[in-house]
Amino acid sequence: MRNWPLGLIVPLQDPTPFSPFAPGNWRQALRRVKTAGYDGVELAITNPARINPDTTKKALESEGLRLLSITTGQAAGLEGLSLASPDERIRRRTIERIEAHMDLARRFGAVVIVGSLRGADGGIKLLTEALRECAKHAPEVRLALEPLNRYESRLVNTVAEALDVIEEVGADNLGILFDTFHTNIEEVLVGEAIRAAEDRLLHVHLADSNRFVPGYGHLDFAQVWDALDAICYQQALVVEALPEPSTEALLNAPARLRGERK
């Protein structure tokens, strides 16, 4: 199976370098994402309390786009939130933030991403306990823990480390987000890491070795497709790349990737 749904990131509240769209123009962004041939979106949301879920749902439906995933990490930089913070008040606020994301995601069947919100450092035990609490909040909503490269976080850099945390947490709804950019830095063999994630793999971010649009760096994506095939991956692929070498390349990615994957 090589027809994985493809998504692009659209920010709803604060700008992100991984999207060419400004939050103020999110409705127009949805139109452009659909026209570009994507099947869905990953919404970048800082605080779901400031979202009207009905308006969001209607806008997505009118464009015929799925909400595949919610990326949550903007609140790490903007508000200093972290699931692994030694400061209990920060941890509590972060757990509540993830729970609010889960409440929103439940309405769409979307995956909630735990990337930068897990913290750049802090305690792995604190992180494990916090994730257990989040996972319990809504067992039907999937949480995807994303291995990040060592320059962004000291906690959970590889699939093997993510699997250890998942085992320790012991919740069925906690899995892995595999980001080809981070894992190209941290893993020995990208394909082997995907195979190791196996049925815990809930979501994939695509970017090339330089974080450009896939195809404009030196990552061997054939290894990625083969490994995803081998584990019978049936979830989505979201392009989380800088708009480099151009926004046009980002918008051409569906045609390019579908051609490449045939």
Residues lying near Mn ion in the complex (CB under 5 A) are found at 179, 205, 240
Cα–Cα distance, 162 to 20 (Å, whole number): 30
Tell me if 211 contacts ligand LER by CB under 6 A. Answer: no
Our CB check for ligand LER shows the closer of 56 and 71 to be 71
What one-character-per-residue DSSP string does 142-210 give?
-EEE----TTT-SS--SHHHHHHHHHHHT-TTEEEEEEHHHHHHH-S-HHHHHHHHGGGEEEEEE--TT
What's at 133, amino acid-wise? Answer: E
> Looking at beta carbons, which residue is closest to ligand LER?
115
Closest approach of ligand LER to the CB of residue 18, in Å:
7
Cα–Cα distance, 215 to 77 (Å, whole number): 29
Binding partner of 73, given ligand LER, Mn ion, none, CB within 5-8 angstroms per partner class: ligand LER
Tell me if 7 contacts ligand LER by CB under 6 A. Answer: no
Tell me if 119 contacts ligand LER by CB under 6 A. Answer: no
CB distance 143 to 108 below 8 Å: no
Q: Tell me the catalytic residues.
A: 146, 240
Binding mask 160-199 for ligand LER (x = CB under 6 A): -------------------x--------------------
Tell me if 115 contacts ligand LER by CB under 6 A. Answer: yes
Cα–Cα distance, 79 to 117 (Å, whole number): 10
| H-helix or E-strand spanning residue 230 | helix 221-230
Closest approach of Mn ion to the CB of residue 113, in Å:
7
Instruction: Pick from 91, 118, 142, 205 the residue near ligand LER by CB under 6 A.
Output: 205
Our CB check for Mn ion shows the closer of 97 and 182 to be 182
Binding partner of 152, given Mn ion, ligand LER, none, CB within 5-8 angstroms per partner class: ligand LER
Whether the upstream peptide bond of residue 245 has omega within 30° of 0, thus cis, is: yes
- Cα 4 to chain centroid distance, Å, stands at 15
71: three-class secondary structure by DSSP: strand
Closest approach of Mn ion to the CB of residue 259, in Å:
24
Binding mask 59-78 for ligand LER (x = CB under 6 A): ------------x-x-----
CA 219-223-224 angle, 5° bins: 80
Closest approach of ligand LER to the CB of residue 252, in Å:
22
Q: What are the structure tokens assigned to 63, written together? A: 């464009």
Our CB check for ligand LER shows the closer of 91 and 211 to be 211
Closest CA to 95 of 136, 62, 123, 149: 136
Kindly identify the residues of this chain, within the stretch 135-164, that bind ligand LER according to CB under 6 A: 146, 148, 152
Binding site residues, ligand LER, CB under 6 A: 71, 73, 115-116, 146, 148, 152, 179, 205, 240
